[in-house]
Amino acid sequence: MALIAVVDDEFLLADLLAGLLVGEGHEVMTAPHGRAALQMIRERKPALVITDFMMPLMTGLELAQAMQVDADLADIPVILVSGAQGASARDSHPELFAAIFDKPYDRKAMLKAVANLLDTP
């Protein structure tokens, strides 16, 4: 079981996803925007980050970019979950994200992607 960071300004969505992951036995920490997430990720080094795109102060894209240039964080896989930017992220920044989901997403597919990335089938 692993520590996962869930980053979303829309707390209901963050809450639902966190609940889903906790149900699978994971430990989850949440943050309302990229800036708070980055600080939390630096402190606790989660095994996986699942982030929204459009958020205040620091977007999901900016968060992934900041993690990539930080040697300590560059290896942590990032899943992007987006209402509108899924397609453009797939086109312009495929290297930043281990998986990209469009909202609303399929919960089973999400759990499968999480399991694959954590290598705990």
Partner 1 sequence: MVEHLPRLPSGISGLDEVLGGGFIEGAAYIVQGRPGAGKTILSNQIAFSQASAGRRVLYVTLLAETHDRLFQSLSTLDFFDKAILGDAIRYVSVFQSLRDEGLDAVVKLIREETQRQHATLLVFDGLLNARDRADTDLDIKTFIAGIQSQAAFVGCTVLFLASAGSSQDSRPEHTMVDGVLDLCEEVVGVRSYRQLHVRKSRGSGSLGGYHQFEITDRGVTLYPRLEAKYAYPSRDEEPSKKRVGTGVAGLDEAIGGGLPAGSVTVVVGPPGSGKTSFGLNFLNLASKKDHGLHFGFYETPARLSLKAEALGLDFSKKRVGRDLHIIWNPLTENSLGKLAHQLLEAVREHKIKRLLIDGIGGFDRAAIHKSRLMEFFSALTNELRVMNVTTIITWESQDHTVNENSDPFPEISSILDNLITIREVHRQGRVQRLLSILKVRDSAFQQRSYEFFFTKNGSAAIDATYASNPGSLS
- Binding-site ranges for partner 1 (CB under 8 A): 9-13, 32-33, 53-57, 59, 82-85, 88, 103-104
CB of 84 to partner 1, least distance (A): 4
Output 36 or 47, the one with its CB closest to partner 1: 36
Residue 12 or 74 with smaller CB distance to partner 1: 12
Q: How far is the CB of 72 from partner 1 (least distance, A)?
A: 25
* Helices H / strands E in the chain, number of each: 5, 5
Contact criterion met (CB below 8 Å) for 17 and 50: yes
- Ramachandran region of residue 47, left (φ > 0), alpha (ψ -120 to 50) or beta? alpha
Nearer to partner 1, 9 or 47 (CB): 9
58: CB partners within 8 A, 6+ apart = 33, 34, 35, 37, 38, 66
Q: How far is the CB of 107 from partner 1 (least distance, A)?
A: 15
**Min dist. Cβ of residue 49 to partner 1 (A):** 17
Between CA 1 and CA 67 the distance in angstroms is: 22
Closest to partner 1 by CB, 4 vs 89, is 89
